[in-house]
Amino acid sequence: MYQKHPGAYMADWSDASGHRHRKQFSTAKAAREHEHRETALTHALRASRELKLAGDGDASKRKMVTESATIASTDPAQGKLGVMIPGMGAVATTFVAGVEAIRKGLAKPIGSLTQMGTVRLGKRTDGRSPKIKEFVPLAGLNDLVFTGWDIFEDNMYEAASNAGVLDQRTLDQLKPFLSKITPRPAVFDHNYVKKIDGPNVKKGRTKMDLADQLRDDIRQFKKSSGASRLITMWCGSTESYIEPTEAHQSVKTFEKALRENDEMIAPSMIYAYASLKEGVPFANGAPNLTVDIPAMLELSRENDAPICGKDFKTGQTLMKTVLAPAFKARLLGLNGWYSTNILGNRDGEVLDDPGSFKTKEESKLGVLEHILQPSLYPDLYGKMFHKVRINYYPPRGDNKEGWDNIDIFGWLGYPMQIKVDFLCRDSILAAPIVLDLVLLMDLAHRCSELKGIGIQEWLSFYFKSPMTAPGLYPEHDLFIQLMKLKNTLRHLRGEELITHLGLEYYD
Ligand SMILES: NC(=O)c1ccc[n+]([C@@H]2O[C@H](COP(=O)([O-])OP(=O)(O)OC[C@H]3O[C@@H](n4cnc5c(N)ncnc54)[C@H](O)[C@@H]3O)[C@@H](O)[C@H]2O)c1
C-alpha cells in the first residue's frame, strides 16, 4: 500500500499468476485491507495449486513440492567477505571490535546463533545436533574484512572509545586493528536525522551522483581488500518517518526520483540502491523504510542481491516477542502494555527527535497486534492499550533500562500484573545479531534457491519489524522465527523439516 497523493491510497498486490494489480482508495485503511484480502487469496490459490500438483500422477510436477529432499546448490565460502557498514557508531564498532577480540582469542562469541548454536537433525533419538557453522558453509571469522561510512571522521578505535560500550583496556588491545578502519565520507541529509551533523559528507549535484560515488567506494573497497564477496549492513542512525510514495514503486520511478533530487529518497535508500546495483546484499538494522519498498525488491530480485530488515530485535522487543506468545498460548487476556526506556547514547539522542522516534515507534508497536491477533480473539485482546516511550537520559549511555508494565487478566476476568525491568546493554545485544546477519546473508547470496527471491523472511528472527512478501503479515513470535530459520537451513541441506509431530515415537 502506498500514498499516491493526499487522499489517494493505492492497494498493490500480485495475483497467483504473478501479475501485478493496483487499485485506488480514499483511505489508507481501505487500501491496506483490500491489499491484505487480495494477497491472502493469492497465497491460498498458490497453495491449492501446489497441493493439486502433488496429487497428480506426473512425477516431474510432483518434484516441485517435494524439493526439500534435495540439497540446494551453494557456492563455497571461498576468499574474503567484505563487510561494508554505513554508520560507524556504537553497534558497528562493538561488532567489529568483538569480531577482532574473538579472532585474537580474547573473548567468546556469546549471543551468536551462527557461532554457538546447533541444529537438531532427524529424530530425537538420532543424536545428531551439529553446530550451525559446521552444518552450512558459512564464512569464517578470519575471512571478514571491514569498511564503513560515517558523517564523523573518527576511526573505529576513536568511535568505539566515544561510544563507551567496551572497556578501554579491551579497546587498547585492539587499537592497531581498529584505528586502521577510517570512515568514508557519508551520504547524509540533515532533514532525515535532525539531532546530529558532521563534516565527513559527500557532495553531489543530484542524488544519482551520490549513488554513483557510493558505487565507486564499493568497487574500490572490493579491489583494495581483495574480498571475493561483499555485504552492506546499515548501522546508521534512525531516519525520520516517511511512508512509501510513487517514487518508491519501481526501479524506473526510483531512478527518476534520484535524478530529480526527490526529497522522499532518504540517504539509507541511496546506500541500498548503490549496493543492490553492484549486486551486493543489503541488511537494514534500523527501522527506516530503506529496502522495504517495491523498487528495492525489484532491484534485489533482478540482481540476485538478497535484502532483509528492519530494526534489530535486541532488548525490550525481544522480551515482548517471548512473553506475548506465552499469553496467547495460555489464552490469558491483555488490557494494556506500557513500555518505557531510558538511554543516553547517540542513538537515544537521535530518537529524541519526533520524526526519528515516530519511525522507531511504528516498528515497536506492530509486534503485539500481529502476535495476539485481536480480530481472532476479541474477548482477550480487543481492547488492549499499547504504549511505547523512549526517553533520552545521558547518564546511562549505552546501558539502556527498559521497563514494561503488563496488565493481563485470567479465569473469569481476574486482573494480574507483570513488571519487567531489563537493565540491558544495547550494543552488546546488537553485535551478535550483526555478525549472524552478515554470515547468513552471505550464505543466501551464494545459494541458488535464495539469492534471487529478494526478501529473506527466514531471517525475521533478528528483526523487530520483519520484512515479508507484499501483503503477508510478519511472524513476530521469537520461537516461530527460530523454527523458520532452522527449518530453512535443514531444507537447504536436504534434511527432513522438523514439525514436532512426534507420533513415530509411539508406533
Ligand atoms: N540495540 C541496539 O543498539 C539497536 C537495536 C535496534 C536498532 N538499532 C539501530 O541501529 C542503528 C545504530 O545504532 P547505534 O547505537 O550504533 O547508533 P549510533 O548513533 O551510535 O551510530 C549511528 C551512526 O550512524 C551515523 N550516521 C547517521 N546517518 C548516516 C549516514 N547517512 N551515513 C553514514 N553514517 C550515518 C552517525 O554519525 C553515527 O555514528 C540505529 O538506527 C539504531 O536505532 C540499534
Query: What is the rounded distance in angstroms from the CA atom of residue 164 to the CA atom of residue 159?
Result: 9
Where along the chain do its domains lie? 2-65, 80-312+428-492, 316-423
Q: What is the SS3 assignment for 170? A: helix
Helices (H), 104-206: 113-116, 132-135, 156-163, 168-173, 175-178
SS3 for 379-437, per residue? HHHCCCEEEEEEEECHHHCCCCEEEEEEEEECHHHCEEEEEEEEECCHHHHHHHHHHHH
Query: What is the rounded distance in angstroms from the CA atom of residue 64 to the CA atom of residue 78?
Result: 30
Higher pLDDT residue, 403 or 33? 403
Which residue, among 263, 281, 256, has the nearest Cα to 271 in the 3D structure? 281
Strands 80-86 and 227-234 turn out to be parallel
Report which residue type is found at 363.
Answer: S
Instruction: Say whether pLDDT at 64 is over 50.
Output: no
Distance in Å, CA 182 to ligand 1 centroid: 16
Mutation pick for ligand 1 pocket among 158, 237, 238 (CB with most ligand atoms within 8 Å): 237
**pLDDT tens-place string over residues 347-366:** 788 888 888 888 777 767 77
**pLDDT tens-place string over residues 38-58:** 877 776 676 666 555 555 544
Residue with cell 586493528: 177
Distance in Å, CA 58 to ligand 1 centroid: 53
Distance in Å, CA 283 to ligand 1 centroid: 13
Distance in Å, CA 86 to ligand 1 centroid: 9
Residue with cell 574484512: 145
* Dihedral over alpha carbons 344, 346, 347, 350 (to 10 degrees): 110
**pLDDT tens-place string over residues 199-253:** 999 999 999 999 999 999 999 999 999 999 999 999 999 999 999 999 999 999 9
Domain 80-312+428-492 has CATH 3.30.559.10: no
Q: Is 193 in the pocket of ligand 1 (CB under 6 A)?
A: yes
Instruction: Say whether pLDDT at 290 is over 50.
Output: yes
Q: In what order do the strands lie in the sheet with 415-423?
A: 385-392, 333-343, 401-409, 415-423
Q: Tell me, what's the pLDDT at 295? A: 96
* Dihedral over alpha carbons 448, 451, 456, 458 (to 10 degrees): 20
Domains 80-312+428-492 and 316-423 equal at CATH topology level: no
Q: Is 267 in the pocket of ligand 1 (CB under 6 A)?
A: yes
Q: What is the mean pLDDT of residues 470-484?
A: 92
Residue with the smallest CA separation from ligand 1 atom 1 is 426
Residue with the smallest CA separation from ligand 1 atom 30 is 188
Cell numbers at 454, concatenated: 529478494
Q: Tell me, what's the pLDDT at 48? A: 63
Q: What is the mean pLDDT of residues 248-262?
A: 96
Q: Tell me, what's the pLDDT at 58? A: 46
Phi, psi of 216 (to 5 degrees): -65, -45
Q: What is the mean pLDDT of residues 187-204?
A: 93
Q: Tell me, what's the pLDDT at 67? A: 43
199 DSSP 8-state letter: S
Cβ-Cβ contacts under 8 Å for 320 (sequence gap 6 or more): 337, 339, 367, 368, 404
Contact between 196 and 350 (Cβ < 8 Å): yes
Distance in Å, CA 87 to ligand 1 centroid: 6
pLDDT band at 59 (very low <50, low <70, confident <90, very high): very low
**pLDDT tens-place string over residues 74-94:** 999 999 999 999 999 999 999
Query: What is the rounded distance in angstroms from the CA atom of residue 87 to the CA atom of residue 237?
Result: 7
Higher pLDDT residue, 44 or 284? 284
Instruction: Say whether pLDDT at 141 is over 90.
Output: yes
Q: Is 310 in the pocket of ligand 1 (CB under 6 A)?
A: no
Instruction: Quote the pTM value.
Output: 0.87
Instruction: Say whether pLDDT at 421 is over 80.
Output: yes
Fold of 316-423: Dihydrodipicolinate Reductase; domain 2 (3.30.360)
Choose the weakest-confidence range: 6-20, 181-195, 326-340.
6-20
Query: What is the rounded distance in angstroms from the CA atom of residue 307 to the CA atom of residue 451?
Result: 9
Q: What is the mean pLDDT of residues 468-485?
A: 92
